[in-house]
Amino acid sequence: MIQRIQSLYLLLTTLLSLLFLKGSFLNFIDKSGSVIKVTFNGIVRDTGGQGFEFIEKLLPVSAFIILIPAFSLVTIFIFKNRKIQLWLALSVIILIVGFIFVSIFYSMFVITEYGAEIVPGFKMVIPLLMLVFAVLAYRGIRKDDRLIKSNERLR
């Protein structure tokens, strides 16, 4: 149901999480001047004119990037069963927190392993926005659940 505000928050979470499927979300510059990117597929080094060098595949990052929008969309359409919707919204929050921790872990890995410096970018803020929207959606679902339970007590 799109008319509920929590559905809008979950839709925004889904749309923001889909931005990670394309391009890199963490960029680094190492001492030699080459750019190291963390993408959906893994860690890639752009060596300038020589092309791209695939360094490492990141399965946890790929799993989080796929699971977050999938769970968010399912949560939107399970509006008739609030108990399951609450559980799914909480799992979306847990997945986003896990994605943030995995991103921090791999950024520390790249910084220590390759002596690189992080380049600030717009996509670094998106996981925090996703977390805020997911928490707001969870609170909205919980508020609806409490409202319906209080109305059932009055009957």
State pLDDT tens for residues 97-150: 999 999 999 899 889 988 889 888 888 899 999 999 999 999 999 988 888 888
User: Could you give the domains of the chain?
Assistant: 5-150 (1.20.140.150)
This prediction's pTM: 0.89
| Interacting residues of 15 by C-beta distance below 8 A, sequence separation 6+ | none
pLDDT band of residue 155 (cuts 50, 70, 90) is low
**Burial annotation 67-94 (CB, 10 A radius, 16+ → b, else e):** bbbebbbebbebbeebeebbebbbbbbe
Local structure of residue 80 (DSSP, 8 states) = T
Please report the sign of the dihedral spanned by the C-alpha atoms of residue 92, residue 97, residue 100, residue 102.
negative
The average pLDDT across 6-19 equals 93
**If we measure between CA atoms, which residue out of 55, 69, 74 comes closest to residue 22?**
69
Per-residue pLDDT reduced to its tens digit, 50-60: 777 778 888 88
pLDDT greater than 70 at residue 1: no
